[in-house]
Amino acid sequence: MKNICVIGSGYVGLVTATCFADLGNRVVTVDIDETKIARLEQGIMPIYEPGLEELVERNVKAGRLSFTTSYTEGLDDAEFVFICVGTPSAVDGEADLKYVRAAAETIAQTMDHPLIIINKSTVPVGTGDWVADIVRRKQPAPIEFSVVSCPEFLREGAAITDFMNPDRNVFGSTNPDAAKQVALLYGPLNAPEVITDIRTAEMIKYASNAFLATRISFINEISIICERLGADVTEVARGMGLDKRIGPHFLNAGVGYGGSCFPKDVKALANMALTHGMHPQLLNAVMEINSFQRAQMATKVRELLDGSLEGKTIAVLGIAFKPNTDDIREAPALTVIRNLVNQGATVKTYDPVAMDNARSEISGRVTLCETPYETAIDADALILMTEWNEFKQLDMRRIKNSMRQPVLVDGRNIYDPDLMREFGFVYRGVGRGYNGEGIVNGGTLDAIAEPAGD
């Protein structure tokens, strides 16, 4: 059993602390938010993450997991301290490191014995060296320490599974022995290990997220072309994914990526390139495509409603940026809702778990509904934004019959186009060509130029 301190009780911090406790370690979680800590001590989770509440309860009862606002209490007897605080985007897209700085300074001022300090937060390349410099300068008296970068690769909605069954764990440090000691903490997980220098470890995180975001924007770019030419991007993606060199993951066309990681990490990596005299052309294109894809949702609805959203009522199913989370940070649905309202529409919306978070972000002509069926009543169009399982099993005949106009824009391609048309919907997906209808984005198939003859 090791003694571990985790600074921060957000998605990464709380999952990291709880999973390490479940592996048999003694873990103290520190957060300066007194309300959050008080609620955690009462068993109230600050986030929605499947399985987390039960895991926290079990480890608290076993005495392996505790919560405090005191760094002194958290660092007492700790051998390892994980920094798991937020790194939001600043004005120019660079990562805002004020919370990392505050954590490093307080650790330095509080520690009274040697520590291994682990950066778990996603931080720009060079932050590990910067943290080490802060700790050295802020210590009242010199105490030995090492800094290790151990980036997280947790998907919201599957964070516990990802922690316990990782594809790999990455450890980087200027002190190889410290990196190996942190690797031993993760030893029970039996995952491949990458032990490298600290800056390479930091870059692995950014490069991984940027690549995944690039795949999403790539297939969304293809979806735009498919719509113009009458092809079906879902079949295109399936055909591509069967190629072992490509694989099927992150090839689902939709409304673009969101959440707390991809948007800010791609921006931060692009900013790092710019500040070092480079031109991140691909990263800029990834972000531009993502913004365009969100804007397309309102455009599709407007085109299907005779060119105007003024005075129309639009139902939006799903607010969270993805299923199995209540996280609405950079959620595509929020962008679409605001776009609809700005064009004169009234919006009715529903999400299975993100409604409380949405109340503070949504205002104006937006009604938060109790059920998806209530959302559809008297709507001129319905947009599916988040692919929650419960939306896949809705009584779509009931939905159609309650709407003023049966217009369905499927932003995640979860419905069968032929079945929806059979139900009486005017259906539009993302990148799903309208084969058999002779329609290509408002034109005709005849409009496609024939190859020149001999």
How far apart are the C-alpha atoms of 30 and 8, rounded to whole Å?
6
Instruction: Answer whether residue 444 shows pLDDT above 80.
Output: no
* pLDDT category of residue 415 using cuts at 50, 70 and 90: very high
The predicted model gives 270-289 an average pLDDT of: 95
Residue 363's nearest CA partner among 336, 383, 341 is: 341
Instruction: Tell me whether the CATH fold assigned to 3-196 matches the one assigned to 211-440.
Output: yes
Question: What's the pLDDT score for residue 449?
Answer: 44
* pLDDT category of residue 364 using cuts at 50, 70 and 90: confident
Query: Under CATH, which architecture does the 211-440 domain have?
Result: 3-Layer(aba) Sandwich (3.40)
Tell me how far CA of residue 131 lies from CA of 97, 115, 134, 136, 329, in angstroms.
10, 13, 5, 9, 27
Is 60 exposed, middle or buried, given 0-12, 13-18 or 19+ CB atoms closer than 10 A?
middle
Residues designated catalytic: 261
Q: What is the pLDDT of residues 214-255, one digit of tens each?
A: 999 999 999 999 999 999 999 999 999 999 999 999 999 999
Whole-number average pLDDT of the chain: 93
Q: Provide the 8-state DSSP code for 258.
A: -
Tokens of 412: 């995640």
**What residues does each domain of the chain span?**
3-196, 211-440
Question: What's the pLDDT score for residue 434?
Answer: 61
Q: What is the pLDDT of residues 296-354, one digit of tens each?
A: 999 999 999 999 999 999 999 999 999 999 999 999 999 999 999 999 999 999 999 99
Strand residues in 178-225 grouped as ranges (E): 193-196
Q: How many CA atoms lie within 13 A of 43 on its CB side?
A: 8
Residue type, 375: T
Residue type, 170: V
**What would the 3-class secondary structure string for 5-44 be?**
EEECCCHHHHHHHHHHHHCCCEEEEECCCHHHHHHHHCCC
> Can you identify the CATH homologous superfamily of domain 3-196?
NAD(P)-binding Rossmann-like Domain (3.40.50.720)
Tell me how far CA of residue 272 lies from CA of 93, 269, 280, in angstroms.
9, 5, 9
Tokens of 377: 């009543």
Tell me how far CA of residue 110 lies from CA of 70, 99, 104, 163, 211, in angstroms.
10, 16, 10, 29, 39
pTM: 0.90
The total number of residues shown for the chain amounts to: 454
* pLDDT category of residue 363 using cuts at 50, 70 and 90: confident
